[in-house]
Structure 1
């Protein structure tokens, strides 16, 4: 991995917008005209999203039956005589029996196709039966009595001819329950379920559609590697192996994606690295050991080699198929929105994003053996504002995948669905995903009714889009979530294949959509930060979390200065820092914090592995001697470019020698000898500090303080000092006595020699005579 990361980085120190509301209001106003007069064609305005048609409607006192449509087969009618079978379930949500019930399919009021996407949205948003659902004249199945709380299945079959359908297009397919209740025995509507029936007897002009097919997973590789020559990789758990195995999410995504020629695979290169690591021997951390250096006792052998080999081989075949495109996200898929909003000005962040792009390309091409596109930004859920756009430009991305909610269309300015691509300034283009179509696959599609509803709505939306401007071929982008589920993937694939078979859709790669001619008048105004949705903003990585990640670089730079094999540490940590920024941590606050803490904890362990062992007291038994201080290297590689400095807390009492240079082999220690000279007995505090060498030397690690006890300073020194003081005092006494003597002798003239020896008499002072008779000065005695 190290060859892809290069040298160390520099030191690092679901709401909706106002525009969306306006769009809905416009659509509702247009829809009101439809309700007032079904015979009046609706204006072609923007879509009203509504809900997934066919999902269970809520029961009420007036309409106690809830109805769910399970299947519509075929999903598209190609001839007026085609039999369309609708199956589902009725549940009596009321408090009394439903009597003499029958299931009926309503005939559309005008027998005309729906002409706008806003009409689709209005139908999808209805809950209770209404006259706008059509005329109930096709009774197909007798159900009988349904006791309170009980359910019954239904299956009804109709043809377009039964419904009076002749003109190609999309029609409401409303199935309701008629019968009586305890309070009202007369037959009346008890509940309804709605979906859509596309009728396409002839090939229509084709709308191009690009579908993103994301392959992502929360980061699994950690910064630790095993202390062996191969640097065996370590994963935080085995969840990825389960995803790669038959039946797992990633396994199924590749299998389903293979059925869609022209697919745009969007891949996180970090996932490819993790899978590749699993194709060889690897280890998995034991729970609770995230910050520890990897050893045999805190890891277990990984078991996913076979599934990793098979999955990677299958993926390489799938992406290499003709017409497909591979978009490589920046390595580990850094969270652009979090960085844009909370990481502004962090030292090293721009470098990290640039490196993520470069390493992402090298990794994806190397692991998949295909050309990849890397100049694509995909902010979280596609939400865009000016800060996110600027951050993506800094990262070198000139194409941004955008949620349609961020760039909504004004129906007053554009009466049909525009091309997905549009310029947004700063040399960037946005490819804007259709919000209504994309949201179908953001929802829970684990039930058959939900999958049927999404399929029929997808077919209805895309057919209406195609018929908006039949002479003007346009294109769409479908943006499912990064964590695309198996159910959503299967539903999207089957819907695309159905629309392709019936002739109004053509699946194309992202590049085809991105290079199309932008539709004049399409919205390209990037909103300001204040318009960014509150929901996604609440789940962003915080400024403190981003700061913690960038601070790892400082500690890493410190460690790099002393290692003799820095590449063994640089590459895993550089990758782990990017993984700490991953978009995959959204809504996984605890897991994200644990991963960051593991990276920091492991780095702290490595830095502190080269240290001065703690000590308390050293005894220096004399006025000079040697202080012995050890330095220990617990790393698995040699270190150098270090020196140890001892600093005395009281230089006037204890001095030590100059710094000692250090070179230590792996897992060794060395004792250094510092000459010391003491002036007095007693305790002196000493500090031992490791420093890096060179012109920009810095402290390394934490200082260690200890006490030096000085004992038995040589007494001769004290005697000499004391004797010198006594001689000086005696000299002063002598001088004073001589002055007194001159004052008492009247014969002594002014020229008398004061230093002439006095005659010793019987009354002479013996002390003054010893001083006076001493021919040597005090200073000279000290010299001896």
Structure 2
């Protein structure tokens, strides 16, 4: 049963006492003209909800149904609805537009048709009642095929003037004439991005969604569920699909998780996610979509993956490093993904800027994606007023690109949410009137048009568009539904506007992704590249983040700015958390006893995979006071810590500031993560130095005594040697048995790890704070014997 028939049945069942509120207004401008708001002069609000026959023919009985509401402050006595006979045929699109723009009743709306009225009784303020009037084309005075105004108004018991009026359009089609107009209709299947960069820490990498709203839309009664159900009944439909949505739905056909609110930047875990509930709905929807796109002569157009906002990128992201590469990859991935998920041939190379609005910069970005077709709203490329007919949609715009320009009036009819019978009926009738008039402009020439509804097509709007297409393409109709390719390759009219404007609509600038937002998205690549250097399984991170970066620039965020900002923040926070998961734990003050000891520095890996290609470098702010050994090679298993030993050589007591920093290895070595600065408090150096100095004084005294005795002996023998350096040189090596003056060695525990040198883990538990190791007995002995270099 069609929408008009359902509405008529409801009216007949409800009688004249059914009360209902007036449907809320919507934002689709052309579709909303024709039913003016109430005013003190015209207190009755009238609406036309349906025509039982959207297209009249010879002998066709038409039932006009709708609703009247008393929006005034006093009762309307003996209210009734009357039908007007049209004054003239509307043979141009300009004439149709004039009727749509009228407000209050007037003589141009025709004359009251005797014998055709519906009594409503008294209407109290705020009261509403339905009406229904039947008429045939002969009673209306329709004689020749064409488009006519159909108006109803409300009167009271005096019948001296109308209290309100509603208008619609009625095509009268008596016989086929001329060539049918080819009409390609875009049927968008899109949704804001849901998959996030996180996956669950398991072998299957279970997908994670930012919320579970998609499960509701995929259900049979949901938006996407209804779009597939409606679309599969239409012939030669052009399905325009975001491949990221297909990937998301495919992921939902298996177990998946959903982030809890406020956890967008965290690693996914059981405690901050919940199980998704859309597995069955996703499985059924994907199967239904595969069937729909393979039937009825359908064509599938794949947008670049995640539907990046070409206009925002053109105006605010041009020249960003990596942007062109990201767009080319998105275009390639879009086609491959759609073909793989749907198992049908897919048309790639199609760009669809936001709302179809095009300027030269956006056309240039579209070329970057490899798009030879650009879907354009006719408002961006308006026709000359001197052009007396509607030209074909396709026209070359240079650089190997073809703009397929959607008729601006037809597209605007289905740009909003037609959420009421009244809005749907008027959009349908306006579509029929416009397309019939276009076909009649040049009946011997094949016309080709593009209809571009909203990217976020709603169920009510889809129903209205489908009803309009069926009515216009019925037997003996004037419209032939066709695919996008047929319209794109039709001959271009030489007089049609093929000039791409240099300016972009100012009212759309405010919703664009900003330079800062796009810059931060591309900045993710820098951090990602560094993270990938140290991972042993980089593919587990590379793919999810590359996809999340493109999703961060999706056109869908134009209508969901806060959600888009939250998504981008979540991607960046998550990457920062991953990068910070490999780190040197913070330290404060470390006491280092002795002038030769060992610093212990820990490195922690909280990732769920092993890391490598790292070095740990420890540096001193005062190498003349405290110096450490060479860098240590860092290789860590998943979720482990390891402590590295650095031999330290101290010269002076007191605090010395040290820095521990991870570095990547390879030809382009660079710091990884934040440097950790801490203080080492050196103790016990002074006593050791004084002991060595004291020992040196004793040796000098002994040498002096020996020098005196030898000189005395030589004097007695008549020999005098005045070279003290030769004497000291001769006495530097004590004779065997003369080391009694050696100090008692300082001893202390020396672990096996200490003996193995730097870069070796201790026997103790990983992750413990840095510590020092006492000097060895041999080190102490060397220092006591004077072999230690004091003061270097």
Q: TM-score, normalised by structure 2?
A: 0.84
Partner of 1:114: 90
The aligned counterpart of 2:405 is 432
Partner secondary structure for residue 303 of structure 1: coil
Deviation at 1:57, TM superposition (A): 2.1
SS in 2 for 1:122: helix
Query: How far is the alpha carbon of 1:249 from its aligned partner?
Result: 0.5
SS in 1 for 2:137: coil
Counterparts of 1:667 and 1:101, CA distance in 2:
79
Check 1:90–1:268 CA distance in 2 against 1; reply closer, same or farther (3 A cut): same
1:304 to 2:278 alignment: yes
Question: CA shift at 1:528, angstroms?
Answer: 1.1
Alpha carbons of 1:451 and 1:774: their partners in 2 closer, same or farther (altered >3 Å)? Answer: closer
Distance apart, 1:426 and its partner CA: 1.8
> Does 2:76 align with 1:98?
yes
Equivalent residue number for residue 627 of structure 2: 655
Other-structure match for 2:600: 628
User: 1:679 offset after TM fit, Å?
Assistant: 1.0
Q: Match for 1:155 among 116, 132, 151?
A: 132
Residue 539, structure 1, aligned to residue 511, structure 2:
yes
| Aligned mates of 1:54, 1:606 — CA distance in 2 | 55
CA contact (8 A) 1:269 1:360 kept: yes
Query: Per-residue CA shift, 1:151-178, capped at 9, x if unaligned?
Result: 3322112211112211101101111223
2:436 to 449, 459, 463: 463
Match of 2:39 in 1: 60
**Partner in structure 2 of residue 33 of structure 1:** none
Counterpart residue number, 1:448: 421
Q: Take 1:546 and 1:583, find their aligned partners in 2: how far apart are those partners?
A: 12
How far is the alpha carbon of 1:677 from its aligned partner? 1.0
Per the TM alignment, residue 88 of structure 1 is displaced from its structure 2 partner at its CA by 1.5
1:273 alignment partner in structure 2: 247
SS at 1:635 equivalent: coil
Distance, in Å, in 2 between the alignment partners of 1:250 and 1:57 is 33
1:146 is displaced (CA, Å) by 3.2
Q: Report the equivalent of 1:597.
A: 569
Distance, in Å, in 1 between the alignment partners of 2:104 and 2:517 is: 48
The 5 A counterparts of 1:523-672 are: 523-529=497-503, 532-672=504-644
Q: Partners in 2 of 1:619 and 1:146 — Cα distance?
A: 93
TM-score (norm 1): 0.85
Q: Report the equivalent of 2:5.
A: none
Aligned to 2:4: none
Question: Which of 378, 400, 404 is residue 378 of structure 2 equivalent to?
Answer: 404
Distance 1:506-1:778 versus aligned 2 partners, 3 A rule? same
Report if the CA contact (8 A) 2:82-2:118 is conserved.
no
Post-superposition shift, 1:101?
A: 4.2
What does residue 166 of structure 1 align with?
143
Q: State the shift of 1:710 in Å.
A: 1.6
- Once the two structures are TM-superposed, the CA of residue 759 in structure 1 deviates from its matched residue by 11
Deviation of the 1:778 alpha carbon = 7.4
Separation in structure 2 between the aligned mates of residue 444 and residue 606 of structure 1, nearest angstrom: 42
Q: Which residue of 2 aligns with 1:188?
A: 161
TM superposition shift of 1:773: 12
Give, in whole Å, the separation in 2 of the partners of 1:728 and 1:346: 74
Q: In structure 2, do the counterparts of structure 1 residues 340 and 129 end up closer, same or farther at CA, with 3 Å as the change threshold?
A: same
* Structure 2 CA distance for partners of 1:260 and 1:194, relative to 1, 3 Å: same
Q: In 1, distance between residues paired with 2:69 and 2:224? A: 36
C-alpha distance in 1 between matches for 2:714 and 2:381:
118
Unmatched runs of 5 consecutive residues or more in structure 1: 1-48, 732-754, 761-770
Give CA-to-partner distance per residue, 1:137-194, whole Å, 9 cap, x none.
33412525434433332211221111221110110111122345xxxx4622222111
Structure 2 residue aligned with 1:492? 465
Does residue 377 (structure 1) correspond to residue 351 (structure 2)? The answer is: yes
Structure 1 residue 322: Cα displacement: 4.1
Matched, 1:358 2:332: yes
CA–CA separation in structure 2 for the residues paired with 1:287 and 1:415: 57
The residue matched to 1:527 in structure 2 has which SS?
Answer: coil
Which residue does 1:231 correspond to in 2? 205
The equivalent of 2:17 in structure 1 is none
Residue 776 of structure 2 is matched in structure 1 by: none
What secondary structure is seen at the aligned counterpart in 1 of 2:49? strand
1:432 Cα offset (Å): 0.6
Q: CA separation of 1:151/1:365 partners in 2, compared to 1, >3 Å: closer, same or farther?
A: same
Q: Return 5+ residue gaps in structure 2 as ranges.
A: 1-27, 704-710, 734-785, 787-792
Q: Against the structure 1 CA distance between its residues 356 and 774, is the aligned structure 2 distance closer, same or farther, given a 3 Å change threshold? A: closer
Query: Partners of 1:579 and 1:780 in 2: how far apart?
Result: 82
User: Which region of structure 1 is more displaced relative to structure 2, 495-504 or 148-157?
Assistant: 148-157
Task: Determine the structure 1 residue equivalent to 2:264.
Answer: 290
Alignment of 1:31-110 (within 5 A): 51-52=30-31, 56-79=35-58, 81-110=59-88
1:716, 1:248 → 2: CA distance? Answer: 83
Question: What is the CA deviation profile of residues 203-248 of structure 1, one whole-angstrom value per residue up to 9, with x for unaligned ones?
Answer: 2321010111111111111100111111111111111111111201
Task: After TM superposition, give the deviation of residue 94 of structure 1 in Å.
Answer: 2.8
Rate the CA distance shift 1:605–1:366 in 2: closer, same or farther, 3 A.
Answer: same
